[in-house]
Structure formats: structure tokens, C-alpha cells
Amino acid sequence: MILSRDATITQAARPAATPRRAWPLGALLLSLAALATATPAALPPKIDLDAFDAMKKSAALPDGEALAYVSMGNPAGRPVVLIHGYTDSASDWAPLIPYLSPDLHLIVVDIRGHGLSGRPECCYTRFDFAYDVKLLLDALGIERADVVGHSMGSAIAQTFAELWPERTRRVVLISSAGGLAPGVQPAPELVGLVATIRQLKDPIDPDSQFMKAWWATQSPVDEGFVRHKRMQSAAMPARVWQAVLEQEIVPDFLGSELRRTLPRLTAPTLLIWGSEDALISESMRAGLREALPQAAVRVFQGLGHNPFWEQPAQCAAVINEFLEKAPAPEAAAAGTS
């Protein structure tokens, strides 16, 4: 993966789920036995993805979109919005969630066109995605939140923080980019991916060579989880793959559009990458670091584009520490951290 208001909230179109406590660890997301016996070299605990998806609700937003989301954790805790990437869904975060602080109130979204959210004919820019998130927070009565994004979701998180700084506490950008410098051409591998996506036709085969390569990871990840990713993204119409590609991925990740607004990102920010990310080149990372010189940076050695799938406990520890930091005195007085 190159790499979501006044609203009516209803249960998404899924089988009825048994009522659960606010933080459904254990039976819902984890095999406790696997967690107890896991070692640093072991695969992350298995996730019950069907149970996770069954928790989704749907918000009918004032802009006409229907956005699916999961609200979990401590309802009275600090809100944290988790925004997935291109062709993914809220379950992108399932490996990480068990390791995040249980004191947080997580809002895990399916962005428009993805997962159980609506699939409009138009529009799929980062500004459209970010506005959906803003309207969802309005509907949920959340005034201010931390925002965490992965891959394309990081561009959405960045945009949210730029447009609504008063609604943003802290920002975490995972596998993100500052776009390409003017005049720099994208790598041939990325150009090839774009060409392949432009040729996709329905129905998309989740077991095709392309889809297996699309969801490949640098380090071992549970095969059932990856299969779930392929099935969900194959269910997305080819027109949505292509609309997001042309309206968001090409101008922002393969162009220089992301750089234009980065000076407006003033919230405390953490940048996370895997050192072996084949989709986000060093020059793309450098553009983000240069534009955000005050940002904290963490690079996980040997990991790829999805570091929190590969080492969820380690990534969560870094994110928890960053989100729990007390604001600087002057920032606290100004109400900006």
C-alpha cells in the first residue's frame, strides 16, 4: 500500500454482536494463551477480525457520507483517532490495539470508499477524507483528539491537524512522506504499481499475484490477518481504487502537493518508519523531516511499510510514550498540546 457533523449513528451492516465492555481485550481481540507465551521473535497474538468488524457502527454525516467506525477503550479517556491507509480498513490497527494504553478512547475509522463506509462516486482527496473525520468527531461530541495515521492515513491525519489545529492535540504519522521534491521523479517500481492499478477491473481476485505482492510484509505477519486484508481490499470496486489513486496518491505521494501545506502542521508530531520500507523512499522521508524539524522520529530497523503489524508491542510502546507526554508549560497555557 503506497502508500475518515451532526450525524445519525447506527449499527453498521454486520451480524448483531454480543454487548461488550468498552475495552474488549481477551476474548475479542487476543488469544490470551498466545499473549502469555509470546516471545520477541514470535508472531503477534491472533486477532478475531470478524468480532472486530462486528463492533462497527455507522455515522450518517452532514456531507452525505456514511462513515463506519469502532469506538473502544475508556469512554472517559483521551480521544485518539486511528486512520488507516489506501485500500485498507479499520482492522489495519487490530495488531496494535491490544498494546495501546487502555486509558485511551480509540476511534478507529473506515475512511470513505473503504471497509464498511460508503463508496461515493466522488470525492477522494485528503481534504475530503479529513473533513469526514472532523464531522465524525462533531457527531461524537469530541472537541479535541490525538490523531494517528498510517501511510495514506498519515496524509489525512496531517491534513486534519493543518485545517483544525484547535481540534488536534498530538499527531503520529506512520510510514508517511513529504511527497517528492519538485522535479524529482518517482521510482520506477511505484510507476509500475500505478500503471497496474489503473488497469484493475472488477472483480478483483484476492489471490492474484498482484494482491499477494500488494499485501506482502517485510517480516512475518499472521497469514489469516493478511488474507483478511486481501479479501477486504478485493471487495473495493476498482473505480474506488482508481479514484483514490488519481485524486490522492498520485498528487500527494508521487507529487509535491503534500509539501505545500506542511508548514501549517504545528501540533507536536511523531514520525515512525520501518527502515526497509520499499514504498516510502529516503528522499520522501527527508522531505517530511525537513518540513517538520521539531518532530520526534523513530525508525524501526529491519521493518517495512507496516511496522506496527510486524512489531506491534514495540511500536505501541513508542506511541504510548509520545501520547502520554505532558505538554510544555507554555504550550499548556496556550492550550495547544
Provide the pLDDT for residue 335: 42
- Cα 196 to Cα 77: distance, rounded to the nearest angstrom: 43
Provide the pLDDT for residue 336: 40
**Residue 256 domain-assigned (yes or no):** yes
Q: Are 300 and 274 in contact (CB under 8 A)?
A: yes
Dump pLDDT digits (tens) for 70-110: 999 999 999 999 999 999 999 999 999 999 999 999 999 99
In the numeric block, which cell numbers belong to residue 212? 499477494
**Residue 108 domain-assigned (yes or no):** yes
Q: Are 174 and 307 in contact (CB under 8 A)?
A: yes
- Cα 190 to Cα 192: distance, rounded to the nearest angstrom: 5
**Residue 330 domain-assigned (yes or no):** no
Domain count within the chain: 1
**Residue 336 domain-assigned (yes or no):** no
Question: What CATH number should be reported for the domain holding residue 285?
Answer: 3.40.50.1820
- Say which residue the cell 514495540 belongs to: 314
**Residue 337 domain-assigned (yes or no):** no
**Residue 332 domain-assigned (yes or no):** no
User: pTM (2 decimals)?
Assistant: 0.86
**How far, CA to CA in Å, does 50 sit from each of 53, 55, 58, 195, 222?**
5, 9, 16, 33, 15
- Cα 152 to Cα 136: distance, rounded to the nearest angstrom: 19
Provide the pLDDT for residue 45: 61
| Domain encompassing residue 275 | 8-324
**Residue 329 domain-assigned (yes or no):** no
- Cα 256 to Cα 219: distance, rounded to the nearest angstrom: 30
Consecutive sets of 10 residues in the chain, 337 residues long: mean pLDDT of each?
Answer: 31 34 35 31 66 96 97 97 98 96 98 98 97 98 98 98 98 94 85 96 97 94 94 98 97 90 96 95 90 96 97 97 73 40
**Residue 335 domain-assigned (yes or no):** no
Any idea which residues carry the catalytic annotation?
151, 305
